């Protein structure tokens, strides 16, 4: 009986998906936001993003701290944002971080990327910036250019340490939206803002893959009650086999 009970427990235990880490690399002036690199967030009350087909608001400075913080921005199915995302950015992408401060050092306190299915449930593992808050000084000159690149890692050599790490050859491992994605949710948190506009913007990572709207529908997930019935049926069948011997 003990040999039958353990597999039943394993069958009824749901799998836990752990978010993959977001890596931050120093990348001064490697990318500029624009039509193919549209902003997710723009700060300090300035409109510095050429967003074209994307309709994202600018967040206005309020007592030098954005409210809410962390900021949350969502891509959804309406009005065709996912199709525009795939057409203009691609489902594999990086994030560019543009810091513009006169003197105060910025602190990056939060960054997450979550993918949701047609029912609004998380799909895949998603990505998160873990550990302690990062101090991110200005490394590039001019608004709209990257100081840092956020990615899922680097497939090439890495030099430096901390936020001064550089991914040589720009061999960034992209974030990738899994098949079945119907919504993307980004969060982004910083400290005070006292000078030029801070921006977090998308960076296209190569050829555009299949649009979201052409994904096959996700496979149905059995309800907990169905899983219990399945496990009970397997246990009954096993008992029946044993009774024959």
Per-residue pLDDT of 143-153, as tens digits, reads 789 999 999 99
Number of domains in the chain: 1
Q: Is 238 among the domain residues?
A: no
Cite the beta strand spans of the chain per DSSP E. 20-21, 23-26, 39-42, 71-75, 92-98, 106-116, 127-128, 134-136, 148-151, 158-159, 166-167, 175-176, 183-190, 199-204
Q: Is 239 among the domain residues?
A: no
Residue 108 has pLDDT above 80, yes or no: yes
Query: Which residues form the domain of 74?
Result: 18-206
- The percentage of residues in the chain with a pLDDT greater than 90, rounded to a whole number, is 27
pLDDT bin (cut points 50, 70, 90) of residue 216 is low
Tens of pLDDT, residue by residue over 40-81, are 887 654 445 554 445 444 444 444 455 556 778 888 877 778
Q: Is 233 among the domain residues?
A: no
Q: Is 33 among the domain residues?
A: yes
Q: Is 124 among the domain residues?
A: yes
Q: Is 219 among the domain residues?
A: no
Q: Is 230 among the domain residues?
A: no
Candidate from 169-173, 198-202, 227-231 with smallest mean pLDDT: 227-231
> Higher model confidence: residue 218 or residue 20?
20
Q: Is 1 among the domain residues?
A: no
């Amino acid at each position: 009986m003990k040999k039958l009970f353990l597999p039943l427990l394993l069958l009824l235990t749901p799998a836990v998906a752990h978010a993959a880490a977001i890596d931050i690399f120093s990348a001064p002036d490697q990318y500029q936001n624009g039509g193919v690199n549209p902003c997710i967030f723009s700060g300090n009350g300035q409109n510095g993003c050429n967003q074209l087909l994307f309709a994202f608001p600018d967040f206005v400075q309020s007592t030098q701290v954005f409210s809410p913080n962390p900021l949350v921005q969502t891509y959804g199915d309406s009005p065709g944002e996912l199709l525009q995302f795939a057409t203009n950015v691609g489902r594999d992408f990086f994030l560019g971080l543009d810091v513009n401060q006169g003197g105060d050092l910025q602190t990056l306190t939060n960054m997450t990327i979550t993918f949701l299915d047609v029912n609004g449930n998380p799909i895949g593992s998603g990505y998160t910036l873990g550990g302690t808050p990062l101090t991110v000084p200005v490394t590039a000159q001019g608004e709209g250019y990257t100081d840092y690149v956020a990615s899922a890692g680097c497939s090439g050599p890495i030099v430096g340490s901390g936020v001064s790490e550089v991914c040589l050859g720009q061999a960034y491992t992209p974030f990738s939206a899994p098949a079945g994605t119907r919504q993307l949710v980004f969060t982004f948190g910083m400290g005070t803002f006292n000078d030029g506009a801070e921006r977090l913007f998308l960076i296209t990572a190569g050829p555009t893959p299949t649009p979201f709207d052409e994904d096959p529908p996700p496979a149905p997930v059995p309800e907990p009650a169905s899983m219990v019935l399945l496990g009970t049926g397997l246990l009954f069948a096993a008992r029946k086999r044993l009774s024959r011997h």
